[in-house]
Structure 1
């Protein structure tokens, strides 16, 4: 077997999928929507983020909004900040999450309680480190109404402020667009082709209630993906749209936070006994192996394809250009996280985040 042709084929696969997805990724243009959008923010020790998050949500235009923050056992000044904001604007409400019940993960429980407190026709779940653009809520609700979608999600523009973040965070958009046929568009109705980013998820209220909401995926850590799959299983349509114009997010700061953050979701993604060897062949074969085969012409072509796709995704996602040359290292780190997650699972080590530990389960 000529291994150089094999590695070129492994690189051509994401290049072709990625080109198709980039051309078809929906960009939202609506600027007005009917009904009330409830912007729902689970917050656990988010004093550094919550004020900017709420302030950005209150600046929404083109649709009526309320902002509900669920304080999930914070030990910093999170609730005091939200109370001050609520005193200044009646659209803001603070709620306190009850103690975490057995068999729930923390964020999913907080989101379920947020949905109960919400009054809106649309439920827009965002993380506290997300900053909504002024037209985001209206655009997402208008798109959902026009296309009759139960769920709309997108990956916010990722703010990358360190080398550690550059080695990890860009993998989100690259893997979504390069390896998921259809890229999560509504035309791909199969549940296993669903996708979502938990940082930015809008649900139509009646459909959300009909599937059981977050209570139906209570044990997972990757709740956006689990909800998207459940919606499709129950006959509803979901879609991933271009999230970069809708919001920004700096999800982690530094390599240690990135490693821990991606590690907690790995067992519900690639890090399964059947899936991880396949993913290792796909990613290592396409993004690492060609470098070892230089100066063969097929390896040169594979590297050119790989970097061209990464550049196209980076431009569309509005991520820093200087992360593009780091792409092989990004794929190497992604695989290292997945294998370490698998090793931890084999050792019986639970997933954990913000002082809580969970036995990770496979997403629905």
Structure 2
């Protein structure tokens, strides 16, 4: 029995490594060129972002060769977010501050904020960006070139994920494990099926006309996971979506501390992995390929479980080196997998008992409301 399990574990470990090697050849940075006379509206929803909003706006304003406006929507902040943006707007006319109207029933906060921002934008290309994202020089022009070259209605990239604590380093890099190890990018590029849609909610660039045809953020009004639901809405409307490597174009510290990591990954779990049908499959893939080899190696040492364990860590180290992630988190990869699965199973149980997700002081239902795309 141990021998058979070891071979299964090896197969489950080799699957994401093989997929990752193929995907890394497709998941590339945008070209080192820009589109002349590009005009972009940078749209930033902000709710209690006084510690990060100035950095986001100043990095956006520093983008050369692009006609741009930066619109920040103050989403009922109780800190100094609005005052900070007001001061930036007084010094640079490209900055506008808007106040969010009351949150309507049936909307999540971020989707409503992005919807309002979309109505305020003036330019034909829209960049929806989180307040904790920092664009690097020339990033915006390169992203516009990628949007035009790809022929897609929506393109998105995962910024370099900055981590400052062990809890962050264990879990946040799992985003790249899931993306590159389990999403067949050949399918994303050559199939219009909505199931191949994927994006990073931190950084999404869209063609305004395609955005309108897809229903915009109104199409995903109840969603807490726009990185999954918005590209699927575009694909259902007949528009392609694509991904690029944004490691060198932007950086983001998504969460600060393990408490925020747990809450942040929990809030959108039931629109991703944590469904009754999907989570058992994900558990087999992740536990079987990344944790089981270590258990078998401890119980019955041999070259097969040792190879399987090594393959899993090699995958994580490869991603850590390529995408500038924590090496400590990579070496503790099985622990990160266990934490990720614990978050997902906790979210699924919470959903089963009807307990709402809570994020930034707002509580949301555990299943999509009528009219949602999520």
What is the TM-score with the length of structure 2 in the denominator? 0.95
Cα deviation for residue 293 of structure 1 reads 1.2
Matched, 1:229 2:232: yes
Matched, 1:82 2:88: no
Cα deviation for residue 184 of structure 1 reads 7.6
Gaps of 5+ in 1: none
Preserved contact between residue 35 and residue 120 of structure 1 (Cα < 8 Å): no
State the Cα deviation string for residues 165-219 of structure 1 (Å, max 9, x = none): 1121111111111011117853343210111010000000110011110001101
SS of match in other structure, 1:98? coil
- Once residues 161 and 186 of structure 2 are traced to their aligned partners in structure 1, the CA distance between those partners, rounded to angstroms, is 18
Aligned with 1:358 (options 341, 361, 364):
364
Matched, 1:35 2:38: yes
Aligned with 2:307 (options 276, 301, 306):
301
Cα gap change, 1:140 to 1:43, in 2 (>3 Å): same
Partner of 1:344: 350
- Once residues 235 and 26 of structure 1 are traced to their aligned partners in structure 2, the CA distance between those partners, rounded to angstroms, is 24
Counting matched residue pairs gives 364
Q: CA RMSD in A?
A: 1.3
Partner of 1:176: 179
Partner of 1:4: 6
Preserved contact between residue 183 and residue 240 of structure 1 (Cα < 8 Å): no
Partner of 2:15: 13
Aligned with 2:71 (options 55, 68, 88):
68
Q: Any residues of structure 2 matched to 1:74-223 within 5 Å, and which?
A: 74-182=77-185, 185-223=188-226
Partner of 1:315: 321
Cα gap change, 1:139 to 1:37, in 2 (>3 Å): same
- Once residues 185 and 246 of structure 1 are traced to their aligned partners in structure 2, the CA distance between those partners, rounded to angstroms, is 22
Cα deviation for residue 35 of structure 1 reads 2.8
| Between 339-348 and 316-325, the greater mean CA deviation after superposition | 316-325
Cα gap change, 1:258 to 1:56, in 2 (>3 Å): same
- Once residues 39 and 230 of structure 1 are traced to their aligned partners in structure 2, the CA distance between those partners, rounded to angstroms, is 21
Aligned with 2:54 (options 42, 46, 51):
51
Preserved contact between residue 89 and residue 95 of structure 2 (Cα < 8 Å): yes
Cα deviation for residue 75 of structure 1 reads 0.3
Gaps of 5+ in 2: none
Preserved contact between residue 153 and residue 207 of structure 2 (Cα < 8 Å): yes
Preserved contact between residue 268 and residue 360 of structure 1 (Cα < 8 Å): no
- Once residues 296 and 186 of structure 2 are traced to their aligned partners in structure 1, the CA distance between those partners, rounded to angstroms, is 30
Preserved contact between residue 351 and residue 367 of structure 2 (Cα < 8 Å): no
Cα deviation for residue 97 of structure 1 reads 0.6
